[in-house]
Structure 1
Amino acid sequence: MGLRFTIEHPLGRPGCSPELYRREGMAAFASAAENAGFDAIAFTEHPAPSLKWLSAGGHESLDPLAALAFAAAVTKRIRLLSYLLVLPYRNPLLVAKTIATVDLLSDGRLTVGVGVGYLKTEFAALGVDFEERGALFDEGLSVLRNLWVADSFSTEGRHFTARGQVSAPGPVQRPHPPIWIGGNSRATRRRVARAGEGWMPLLISDEMAATTRTEAMSGTAALKMGIADLQALLVDAGRDPSSVAVQVKSRHSDILLHREYSWERHHQFMEELAAAGATDVVVRTPGHSLNEAVEGLEEYGQCVIARWRRS
């Protein structure tokens, strides 16, 4: 199987034009992504970042599930990815209801990308104990995997009690939409082997890894080792390694256009990722204007996606 391509909305890039996250611009972007051949469209989240973080290079965001619901309404084929949803921020029954709603309204196109989170000030602003984030993440993951299995759901959570609760209507994809887990650590890979349908590592430097509170993974050699480790963990868990996706984001995810960018070098790097075991890659176009973003989608579709489809 060849690589699949996810387009992440450019709101996370510096200088993103507001027209790209207004109604008409968002509709045009999502439709252009689908027409260009992208397999998925993604939105990230930071519901309450600090001004200090934004000023130091952080980024704005939309609510990812709300944005994906909008994208579902203006597209027919492209999958919808939360990249990523910070599970500890929310009561898991509430987030499960939103997930089921988006999956229903999209006819089963949602992939739930989730993570533990790393911004202490955001946790504090949302009233969530930063030191509990790992336990809260595992609890939320368990709810998403088990909520729709039986007629009702019961569990004693860390901060909630469910006694025969019902989440209806449920999602189209049963028992739940695919769950992909972000992070570079071995603990993340263990979670994927136990309870995930996808792993979302980042190829990042030591400095960026420290900022995002994960392990560094600087290149394809490290990625290949991580994928081999994940596959071994999956085998130990009695699972087929080929059933789990590996989506990669790297410095090659942010593309430029025309003569400023070498599509041949980009394609070579995609080949390196595929050889390492990646199944999916993340791409971000420039976003200084809607026209620029749409042009980037079209050019990427012609120069990269079409070439992969032919091969």
Structure 2
Amino acid sequence: MTFPVSISLPFDHIQYPDEFISMEAVTQICQTAEAAGFSAGCVTDHPVPGTRWLDNGGHYAQDPFVMLSLIAAVTTKLKLQTNILVLPYRNPFITARAVASLDVFSNGRVILGMGAGYLKAEYKALGVDFDARNDIMDEYIKAMKLAWTGEDFEFEGTGYSAPGNRMRPVPVQSPHPPLLVGGNSRRAIRRAVELGDAWHPFFASASVTATARTVSLAEEEDIDAALAYLHAHCEKIGRATPPEIILSSVFTIKPGYDPQEAIDIISGYRDKGTHGAGASVFVDSRPQWCDLAADFGERVLAKLD
């Protein structure tokens, strides 16, 4: 089986509306990504980001479930991945309903990458307690798993209560779509071990992770230490099979990129025991995006095994 590599989709690049903000763009870009052999198309989540963050390197985002629904409609095999959904932003049963609906109508193609987020201004605008976000996230994962059983359930949450409720239809994937727990911190690693199907870290330099306000995992020793901590926590709680390790983007595809460099980087992470990785294309035109994605499929993806 070919090593799975996802692709970040460019529908957040609102500065180029004629190139990326249309149904025509969704169709052409996603069908190109699918034909190239990418395993999943990824969208992110920032419903109302703060202006200071936006003006210092941040970015806008479309609604993730709207975008993934559009992508599902124009593809047949491409997985539909959030990378990431900020889980505490929404009531967990609203999220569980959206995920289940999308999984049913896409015939089981959802991958739920999720994290606790880091933008105080966005948390404040949404009326969610920033300081409690980690506890809220753990709670919400448990609530969603309960809803996805399709059986009657009761749940007492933070500011909400399910006194006797039921959600159907359940996701096609059983017991639910893969839950990829994002974040580089030890809290995130523990969450992946205790509640997730995979750990979804961001391996990047301190200068890059500073914008995302997360722990840097760039150096070999940092990565090895994080993996050791993951396995130690599995042993501590008695989890026999560790969560998979599915990386966010590890390679940026640019004009003139080196295919062998991409193969070496992705293969290096695979050899460390990871189960998937991601790539990104940063250009300002749709034809160039599609050309680079197709080229990457031919010269890199086809050579990964």
Moved over 6 A (4+): none
Of 288, 295, 303, 2:291 maps to: 295
**Which SS does the other structure have where 2:304 is aligned?**
helix
The answer to whether the 8 Å contact 1:11/1:59 transfers is no
For structure 2, the 5+ residue unaligned runs are none
Matches within 5 A, 1:168-247: 168-241=168-241, 244-247=243-246
Query: By how many angstroms is 1:286 displaced?
Result: 2.7
CA distance in 2, matches of 1:308, 1:16: 32
- Corresponding residue for residue 84 of structure 1: 84
For this pair of structures, how many residues does the alignment match? 305
TM-score (norm 1): 0.92
Matches within 5 A, 1:1-311: 3-12=3-12, 16-149=16-149, 151-241=151-241, 244-249=243-248, 252-257=250-255, 260-309=256-305
**Structure 1 counterpart of 2:252, one-letter code:** D
CA distance in 2, matches of 1:14, 1:307: 33
The answer to whether the 8 Å contact 2:11/2:21 transfers is yes
TM-score (norm 2): 0.93
CA distance in 2, matches of 1:7, 1:217: 20
CA distance in 2, matches of 1:17, 1:28: 15
The answer to whether the 8 Å contact 2:205/2:217 transfers is yes
CA distance in 2, matches of 1:110, 1:300: 24
CA distance in 2, matches of 1:109, 1:220: 33
- Relative distance call for 1:113 and 1:266 in structure 2 (3 A) is same
Query: By how many angstroms is 1:148 displaced?
Result: 2.5
- Relative distance call for 1:253 and 1:137 in structure 2 (3 A) is same
For structure 1, the 5+ residue unaligned runs are none
- Relative distance call for 1:211 and 1:234 in structure 2 (3 A) is same
**Structure 2 counterpart of 1:291, one-letter code:** P
Q: Give the aligned CA root-mean-square deviation in angstroms.
A: 1.9
The answer to whether the 8 Å contact 1:235/1:241 transfers is no
Query: By how many angstroms is 1:210 displaced?
Result: 4.1
**Once the two structures are aligned, what percentage of the paired residues are identical?**
33
CA offsets per residue over residues 19-75 of structure 1, 9 Å max, x none? 323101111111111110111111001000122221111111111121111111111
CA distance in 1, matches of 2:302, 2:285: 24
**Structure 2 counterpart of 1:233, one-letter code:** H
**Which SS does the other structure have where 1:125 is aligned?**
helix
